[in-house]
Amino acid sequence: MKKFNLGTALVMILLSVGIFYQTKDMPKTFNQAPGPGFWPRLLAIAIFILSAALVVQTYAEKMDWKEALVDVKTPGVQRVFMLFATFAVFAVSLNYLGFIITSLIFVPAVMRILGETRVKWLFLTSVGTTAFVYVIFVKCLRLVLPAPFFM
């Protein structure tokens, strides 16, 4: 388990450095308010700090790591793998199907993986979440969400 903690921390540290670097040219402020580069940089710093804390915690604990093995065949761990795959498909699909279509598919897919089976709730949550995000980001904040390739 120790090597998995260290591996995860290293990947997340590299990810945070990459995010921080990619946002170097984005304005940090815009009209005396946080600009488009502010939040990604803040999140990158938070990821870096938490990952470094995981490294310190991993080395500081006096735990017998051989007893803390994870069985990847358990349903909970399989569900986590399915969620990671779903998030990856969501990220790729944004470029092709746009935010609205992708979200209308993604939200119920995640809910279904997590055990929700009631179609009414799958539908209402999907539409409600997508509409909420659309109103906040497009109408209130005047941001552009990814559009489908055919528009």
What tens-digit pLDDT sequence spans the chain (151 residues)?
A: 678 888 999 999 999 999 999 888 877 777 777 777 788 899 999 999 999 999 999 888 876 656 556 777 888 889 999 999 999 999 999 989 999 999 999 999 999 999 999 999 999 999 999 999 999 988 988 888 888 888 7
Residue 45, domain extent: 1-69
Do residues 36 and 99 both lie within one domain?
A: no
Cβ atoms within 10 Å of 95's Cβ, excluding its own = 12
pTM: 0.62
Return the pLDDT at 27.
75
**Burial grade of 67 (CB within 10 A; 0-12, 13-18, 19 or more):** exposed
Q: Which of 44, 69, 94 is the C-terminal boundary of a domain?
A: 69
- Would you say 103 and 91 are in contact if contact means Cβ atoms under 8 Å apart? no
Q: Which of 26, 47, 69 is the C-terminal boundary of a domain?
A: 69
Do residues 48 and 58 both lie within one domain?
A: yes
User: How big is the CA angle at 46 (ends 45 and 49), to the nearest 5 degrees?
Assistant: 85
Return the pLDDT at 63.
64
- Would you say 6 and 59 are in contact if contact means Cβ atoms under 8 Å apart? no
- Would you say 136 and 127 are in contact if contact means Cβ atoms under 8 Å apart? no
Do residues 100 and 150 both lie within one domain?
A: yes
Do residues 151 and 77 both lie within one domain?
A: yes
Calpha distance 70→2 (Å, rounded): 12
Amino acid at 64: D
User: Comparing C-alpha atoms, which of 82, 133, 139, 79 is closest to residue 103?
Assistant: 133
Do residues 64 and 75 both lie within one domain?
A: no
What are 102-118's pLDDT values in tens digits?
Answer: 999 999 999 999 999 99
Q: Which of 53, 69, 85 is the C-terminal boundary of a domain?
A: 69
- Would you say 54 and 60 are in contact if contact means Cβ atoms under 8 Å apart? no
Do residues 145 and 84 both lie within one domain?
A: yes
